[in-house]
Structure formats: structure tokens, C-alpha cells
Amino acid sequence: MIKFHPTPEHLQQFVKGTLSPVESLMISAHCDMCARCQSRVEMMTADYANTEIEQAVQSYDPDFDAMLASITQQPAAERASQIKARRNSTAIELDGKTFELPKTLHRLVKKKGNWSSLVGKLWQAPVDLGIDGVANFIYIEKGGTVPEHTHRGSEMTLVINGEFSDGLNDYDSGDLIYMTGDHTHAPRSDAPEGCLVFSIVDQPLHFTSGLARLLNPFSHLFFR
């Protein structure tokens, strides 16, 4: 059951297009998995569209009709090829496991790098977003743990498949989690199927416990 959602303010900003690309990507992917937030976005979008239409009617531009016609007259073959491209590669694989991704993340399959094994039964596959921030698909095997850490910046994580706990809360598929330097946690999965997440950080992690602190000079490599 999804328990962690974007705030109403974030959803409103998402509808208006005022969030950063990273925040918009993560909220859109969450809405793919969360019927509640998807419904709220649809209602907010309808309200916002009505407001924009009223303003557009008051400042009507005849050139708008020509622009709309040029879009709708796009050759059918070209539209079909674009639809076909969007249908390709909707899942990622690791060690014989296949994980279906939310619709928003389908386009990231081709941007994903190779999986690499990390300490603590962790697997990481980098994703080139072409924007600020470091993005990774991270798979935690059953019994796997990310060393206790806090954040020099912020971290947004979407649970795609499975469950994990971090000493602060328990998370399930679809949960969207936002962490800052005010949070210290140690994600761990005890689910039989493990846990796959998609995570974006804007600064290296800062490890806070035991021998993991020795990794701090190299933390920019830990989730690169």
C-alpha cells in the first residue's frame, strides 16, 4: 500500500510546470503507480486548463489555429513510428529478474548503464538523465543494506518493486521518498523478492556509521 506521496503543493507545481526536471520526472513516475495522486493531478489539470482557456479566449491569437492544424496534420506514418518507439523497452532485467517500469521511466531503459555489484548485497545501474543530479536504479537483495548515511544535498527515491525499511519508516512499491541533510537512515530490504528503487541525488552521500565512514572520501563513487 502506497503511504508516501508528493505534497498537494508539489502536485500543483507539477501541473503548472514549475518544478525542476528531476522533481517532475519523479512525481510523474509516482503518479503512474498511484491512482490517488493521478486523480488529483487530473482534477488540478482540468481546473488549471479552464483558467488558461479563459485567459486565452480573452487574448485570442488567430495564429494559434494554424499552429494547431500543423500539429494535427502530422503524417500518420510518422505518428505510428513514434508510438512504436515508445512501446519498446518497458522493463529492465537483473540476474534473471524482470522489473516492469512505470510508464514515465520507460524512456530511461536505453539510458541505463550496466549493473555493477556493490557491498551489502546491492546492485547499481547508472542512468544518464542529461541534467544535474546523479540517477541510479538500485536493487537491494533480500538481507541487503545500504550503509547508514545522511545527505549533503537531497535525495528523491521511488520504490518500483518490493519493500524496504530504513529505521525511519517502512516503504512499499509506489512510495515516493524525499530525504535531506535532516535525515539519517540505513535502507534494508528483508522482502523475499528484494527491492528495486530509482533514486536521484544532487550531492554525494555522507556515511555516518562504523567502517562505512571510511567510504566518505569516495562517496561520489558509491552512487555514481
Q: What is the per-residue pLDDT across 84-139, written as a single tens digit (0 to 9) for each?
A: 444 568 999 998 999 999 999 999 999 999 999 987 799 999 999 887 678 999 99
| Sheet of 188-189, strand order | 144-145, 188-189, 164-165, 170-171
Give percent above pLDDT 70 in the chain. Answer: 76
Q: DSSP letter at 32? A: H
Question: Residue 3: is its pLDDT beyond 90?
Answer: yes
Q: DSSP letter at 105? A: G
| Sheet of 116-118, strand order | 116-118, 122-127, 134-140, 195-201, 155-162, 176-179
Return mean pLDDT, the chain.
83
pLDDT of residue 200: 93
Question: Residue 153: is its pLDDT beyond 50?
Answer: yes
Domains, the chain, ordered by start: 8-87 (1.10.10), 91-222 (2.60.120.10)
Write down the pTM of the prediction. Answer: 0.79
Tens of pLDDT, residue by residue over 16-71, are 999 999 999 999 999 999 999 999 999 999 998 887 666 655 555 556 556 556 65
Q: Pick left, alpha or beta for residue 143 (phi over 0 → left; psi -120 to 50 → alpha; otherwise beta).
A: left
Which long-range contacts (C-beta less than 8 Å, at least 24 apart) are formed by 164-168? Answer: 164/140, 164/188, 164/189, 164/191, 164/195, 164/197, 165/189, 165/190
Give percent above pLDDT 90 in the chain. Answer: 59
User: Greater confidence, 174 or 214?
Assistant: 174
pLDDT of residue 222: 47
Contact 181, 153 (CB under 8 A): yes
Alpha-carbon span 153 to 176, nearest angstrom: 17
Alpha-carbon span 186 to 165, nearest angstrom: 8
Partnered with residue 188 across adjacent β-strands are: 145, 165
